[in-house]
């Protein structure tokens, strides 16, 4: 798997954490989503098999003191997309395979359902999903993201124990 080499390069470069993308319609998300995974082979019968293989391969390359994070779409916004109960099961499988921390996002798999449940892109909009993950996996650190550019809001998310970490994209830019 080429991703093994990416992990080796990252470790050699001296990173102190690693993250793989299992959200937003990227490859791992495409595999564990029934919306996109229409395969009839074993990787279609077991939607999390591909992601599990990736995680297990990475865990053999990344030292135990460097966390392996996965970004995950907690819910999908396509019609009949998966919701929290399914993503908890998916995350449980990846956690057993070796994911140390979940970075909670949402959607990105395809067209948004009309009149669906997608929240507006407002400050801290995906944080309820982070809270749901934290509640479901109390011993597994979770990361909140989504317009947490205001220090006070970001700090409250951690102080309220809704998340263990926050990431800030546009605020940094
Ligand atoms: C201009 C722009 C481009 C982005 N491109 C991607 C992308 O290619 N892949 C991805 O997973 N997320 C992408 N994102 C989402 C970011 O990863 C992040 O979830 C989002 O910006 C929320 O964090 P923030 O509010 O702190 O910026 C993008 C966001 C912005 C604003």
Give me the pLDDT at residue 155, please. 96
> Which residues does ligand 1 sit against, CB inside 6 Å?
24, 105, 145-148, 168-171
CA angle 95, 5, 11 (to 5 degrees): 70
Model confidence pLDDT, tens digit, residues 108-139: 998 888 877 788 888 888 899 999 999 999 99
Write the pLDDT tens digit of every residue in 65-111.
Answer: 999 999 999 999 999 999 999 999 999 999 999 999 999 999 999 88
Average pLDDT of 11-26? 98
Closest ligand 1 atom, residue 21 Cα: 11
CA 61, CA 4: separation in Å to the nearest integer?
7
Which residue's CA lies nearest to atom 9 of ligand 1? 24
Residue nearest to atom 16 of ligand 1 (CA): 169
Q: Ligand 1: which of 169, 170, 173 to mutate, most ligand atoms within 8 Å of CB?
A: 169
Give the whole-angstrom CA distance, residue 29 versus residue 47: 9
Q: How many CA atoms, within 13 angstroms, populate the side-chain half-sphere of residue 51?
A: 32
- Identify the bridge partners of residue 144 per DSSP, sorted by sequence position: 104, 166
Domains (range + CATH), the chain:
2-130 (3.20.20.70)
Predicted TM-score (pTM) of the model is 0.95
Atom of ligand 1 nearest to the CA of 170: 27
Confidence (pLDDT) at 122: 84
| Mean pLDDT, the chain, integer | 95
Which SS3 state, helix, strand or coil, does residue 101 take?
strand
With contact defined as beta carbons under 8 Å apart, do 23 and 72 qualify? yes
Q: How far is the CA of 45 from the centre of ligand 1 (A)?
A: 31
Query: What pLDDT does 112 receive?
Result: 87
């Amino acid at each position: 798997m080429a991703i093994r080499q990416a992990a080796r390069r990252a470790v050699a470069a001296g990173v102190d954490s690693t993250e793989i993308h299992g959200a937003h319609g990227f490859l791992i998300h495409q595999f564990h989503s029934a919306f996109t995974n229409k395969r009839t082979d074993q990787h279609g019968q077991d939607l999390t098999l591909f992601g599990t293989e990736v995680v297990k391969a990475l865990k053999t390359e990344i030292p135990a003191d460097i966390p392996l994070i996965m970004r995950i779409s907690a819910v999908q916004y396509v019609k009949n997309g998966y919701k929290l109960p399914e993503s908890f099961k998916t995350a449980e499988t990846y956690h057993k395979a070796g994911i140390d921390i979940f970075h909670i996002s949402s959607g990105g798999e395809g067209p948004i359902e009309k009149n669906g449940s997608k929240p507006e892109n407002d400050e801290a909009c995906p944080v309820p999903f982070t809270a749901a993950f934290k509640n479901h996996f109390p011993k597994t650190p979770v990361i909140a993201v989504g317009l947490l550019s205001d220090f006070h809001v970001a700090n409250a998310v951690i102080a309220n124990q809704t998340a263990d970490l926050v990431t800030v994209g546009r605020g940094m830019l």
